[in-house]
Amino acid sequence: MSKTTAIDPDNLPYADGDFYGFEQLLTEKERDRLSEIRDFLAREVKPIAVDCWNRGEFPMELIPKLAEIDLVSPVRRQGFSNLFAGLVHAEVTRADTSIATFMGVHDGLFTGSIEALASQEQQDAWLPDIYAMKKIGAFGLTEPLGGSDVAGGTRATAQRDGDTWILNGAKRWIGNATFSDWVVIYARDVADNQVKAFLVDTKLPGYSASKIENKISLRTVQNADIVLDNVVVPDFFKLANGNSFRDTNKVLKVTRLAVAWQAVGQQLAAFDVARRYAVERMQFGRPLASFQLVQQQLVQILGNAVSSMGMMVRLAQLEDAGAAKDEQSALAKAFTTDRMRESVAIGRSLLGGNGIVTDYEMAKIFADAEAIYSYEGTYEINTLVTGRAITGISAIV
């Protein structure tokens, strides 16, 4: 082949990054559905992603389209496997991490809280509008002074007053909260010191949410500071089965897996951009991909992505069997996000100067990875959870 022969990146083997054919583990119905979702993402999400990120604005017009493609609760409501749900979340992240995070908040954290902690009567009342995305949700756990230690240090309070609860306190980094209709607030019951869950209508008096500005990551996501000033919530809106942080952790165990799948999608996004750039970019009269060190970098990104995907495929199988453990989720989140951080850094470097402008997308991928690395349990906390499992000794104070 001539050094200057044009190459079509889309017709190369392994262009999809699925080097070991993990998607073949899906049923035919799931593969068809995944293909449908990919077409939707290519048509509706990818073309607007960078512009929305640059402006720091959420595309509200996308919500009805997301509702129509019907991504909410693929396992519990639609009967798909956890493997399918994970691969879908990776693909949404591959298209745009901000939209994947929006869905992760509405579907995983918010909807997951209702599915796991609400009574059947509450679910019957709330879930139809949530599934149809007629009501958009948020998840209020993290606080201004409480991130990793929120399990034992929740400062927001809830006080029973007859047939109502009065909520006070503050929450921070709450995705979707500037425009959500509802938010699940986790607050400490002053009567028994246990963390309990409440569905809060964002139009209630005393509730306010203000957008967090000046972010360098997930700029499209509308994270907010929430203030709760004597917010009165009817007793029916106290989630019946959300009575301790142990209950809350039932939600977090599942969503931690979703974030690890995001780390897979983020690496595939980096691989997509870096591979195409290397094949199409000419330097010294030949494609950048013809240089040995560039090929090594591409292979490193792919290896990181494939190893992360392999771990997540097995964990999804364990989840389908009801056998996944908290420490396995913790290791997955720690490992995949660590590999992700390396992958996006290699990708950014491979693009040289073009890697620091969003015009070539890699700068956005690089910046968004920092949020994934930190939320749903930091790398350090998940490492220590895993360390406790293999030594029997806790290193967490």
Domains in the chain, ordered, with CATH?
Answer: 22-131 (1.10.540.10), 137-244 (2.40.110.10), 246-391 (1.20.140.10)
CA angle, 85 as apex, 87 and 200 as ends, to 5°? 130
Output the pLDDT for position 165.
98
User: How far lies 39's CA from each of 43, 89, 249, 377, in Å?
Assistant: 6, 14, 34, 32
Output the pLDDT for position 4.
52
What is the pLDDT averaged over residues 366-383? 93
Using left for φ > 0, alpha for ψ between -120 and 50, and beta otherwise, residue 230 falls in: left
* Dihedral sign, Cα of residue 389, residue 107, residue 232, residue 164: negative
Quick count: other Cβ atoms within 10 Å of Cβ 51? 12
Instruction: Pick the closest to residue 337 from 360, 320, 312, 313 (CA basis).
Output: 312
The CA distance from 125 to 284, in Å, is: 65
**Strand-pair category, 282-283 with 157-161:** unpaired
User: Which structure tokens are listed for 313?
Assistant: 């495929």
Output the pLDDT for position 2.
42
Backbone angles phi, psi at 202, to 5 degrees: -70, -5
What is the pLDDT averaged over residues 321-345? 95
What pTM did the predictor assign?
0.93
DSSP conformational letter for 60: G
| Averaged confidence pLDDT in the chain | 94
How confident is the model over 223-242, as pLDDT tens digits?
999 999 999 999 999 999 99
| Contact in structure between 110 and 184 (CB atoms under 8 Å) | yes
The CA distance from 274 to 291, in Å, is: 14
Is the pLDDT assigned to residue 148 strictly greater than 80? no
Is the pLDDT assigned to residue 1 strictly greater than 50? no
| Contact in structure between 312 and 336 (CB atoms under 8 Å) | yes
Chain centroid to CA 375: how far? 9
Is the pLDDT assigned to residue 380 strictly greater than 80? yes
Chain centroid to CA 174: how far? 13
What is the pLDDT averaged over residues 292-315? 97
Element containing residue 373 per DSSP (H, E): helix 362-374
Is the pLDDT assigned to residue 5 strictly greater than 70? no
Instruction: Pick the closest to residue 156 from 77, 146, 43, 17 (CA basis).
Output: 146
- Name, in order, each residue with C-beta under 8 angstroms of 257's C-beta and a sequence gap of 6 or more: 82, 86, 312, 315, 316, 319, 324, 329, 332, 333
How confident is the model over 16-55, as pLDDT tens digits?
889 999 999 999 999 999 999 999 999 999 999 999 999 9
What is the pLDDT averaged over residues 69-73? 96
Is the pLDDT assigned to residue 14 strictly greater than 90? no
